[in-house]
Amino acid sequence: MNLQVARAWRDLVNSLGSWQLWVYVGLQDIRLRYRRSALGPFWVTLSLAVTIVGVGVFYSGIFQSEVHVYLPYFATGFILWAYITGLIIEGCLVFIQDGSYIRQLPAPLLTYLFKTTWRAIIIFAHNFVIFVAVALYFRIWAGWAYLQAVFGFMLLTLNGMWMALFLGTLSGRYRDVPPIVQSSVAVLFFLTPVLWDRQAAKQYSSFVDFNPFFHLIEVVRAPLLGTPAPLLSWLVAGAMALLGSSFAFLFFSRYRRRIAYWV
């Protein structure tokens, strides 16, 4: 086991050292995906913006909440939800979709994880324009709290990466995992305070506290909206990042040599 961990650690170091490779390939993936498109990745942003405005205005009336309160809350949560779930869903295919390269090229396997993460960050950066527009329209300014949001985003990304690494390794062996994850994510959306506010469901507040996705989103959403994230959310997000990363890395170390045969 120690030898396997050492090899996986070497894989990690080599992947970080070859950052220029996965940065370039990630950008190329975006260009190829949206080639001959006038707006490129902004088509995703435009679709997300239309959904946010339509749902935000409509559901603010259903929940009897002021638009200037509900719309920024929903917009921020929805953008972050799209980021973390996109990273998880794409993470299931992190090795499968590049199976031909894995079998032919001697590149470190974690290079593909970093490429997928970098690609998700690029898409998130495009979608973040929506939050900037909403913040300007409703005159939201959080000041120094934006630094907390940056730290929260780092925690969110780290948690998304270890989930992608674990699910990507597992999906290489069991091809039923990606559709199961995709279906589960669709259900989790309605169980996580994105469309609805936690304060509007006080009777279920204890249930929300056990939802890890709420805490992952809240450490970014709350600072962006100018309110401090609960200490519990910071503790949960930090503990998940530490324990989850350790577990996923050990799991990857255990099955790293088999991935090329699986995909």
Question: At 93, phi and psi to the nearest 5?
Answer: -105, 10
The residues spanned by each domain of the chain are 2-262
Q: From first to last of the 263 residues of the chain, give the pLDDT tens digit.
A: 578 888 889 989 988 888 888 888 888 887 777 776 666 667 778 888 888 988 888 888 888 888 888 999 999 999 999 999 999 999 999 999 888 888 887 788 999 999 999 999 999 998 999 999 999 999 988 888 899 999 999 999 999 999 999 999 999 999 999 999 999 999 999 888 888 887 766 666 677 888 899 999 999 999 999 898 989 999 999 999 999 999 999 999 999 888 888 87
What global pTM score does this model have? 0.91
